[in-house]
Structure 1
């Protein structure tokens, strides 16, 4: 039987999918997509994901999921007997809201301006202003995310696939010196203590021991 295959780029949002696959103890292959080199726009990758985005997850039957939230929910529902996807419909709704907020707002509106300011203006002189605006938006959206979590512990109380989704923007905040609200800093440090997170960060070229130090 063929293994799943994760198409990813180290340090990107695909880190969340990488962590989830490790958490559910799924055997999978990794295909690294070099985005700066334009590999995501080559015909062979567009045949897998016409959007040219990462991550993509090819399932054992050959079908492909091309959206991070869909990947997270599918793995949560279908691996380890659904252990990391809540059974309660109310918690399912909360999980989706957290993930949509992270991907669409924290990432899509905030960090995207920090990492790719050229996508928002053709004028290179406006890049610094765009990045500054991205930091402001990311900070605001992270504060809103903090209000969506349980007061302590993981996002929904017990660990779920929503936690690695939240983790990747916390990781980005740490790497770019965007302050994390206290609740998210606690969550980030909790996640850094998980074996799967440690393994993935090491595999992707980061030293977990140097992360989570900011107050």
Structure 2
């Protein structure tokens, strides 16, 4: 290589170095995680998040970031109570006569109120009047002294003014002057026999309540 050629190459190299800006070394790294945001829900399960940014030469680049999302839980949400369906109407409280009452009930259990939720509003029971056939009259030749004899085959009516043979008790016909001979009988149902003494418990079951007398 001649001296003139070397000088020309050196000048060309210097010229190119002047045209091309120097490449600076850029330092990029992740910054620290920010604080957690508040939970997205005031009760029950929600989410919270935190963010960190890329730091370029000591400055955060807000366009380059990473976000972590996690589940959070503060407290139980209040659960308001709600009524069950109404039970069926009970049979009339009187087997005969014009004055009687039928009743139906419902429970605040669908669901029960919890965690400071509101209770159910409205009545838990309803009643309505019911009418029946007239009660049998005491036979004119009836002798009350018959009822006072110690005889297990006699049923004393609730009014204590009339009695009937025990064979007429719970025969699905009214004989007592107050209809009490057909109260507290065993009832035949699809699932067997249910005693009327369980009627109070059956108030809690719409399916079985109608079996009570």
Whether TM exceeds 0.5 here: the answer is no
Q: Which has the higher helix share?
A: 1
The structure richer in strand per residue is 2
Q: TM-score, normalised by structure 1?
A: 0.18
Structure 2 length-normalised TM: 0.18
Structure number with greater Rg is: 2
Which structure is higher in RCO with an 8 Å CA cutoff and minimum separation 6? 1
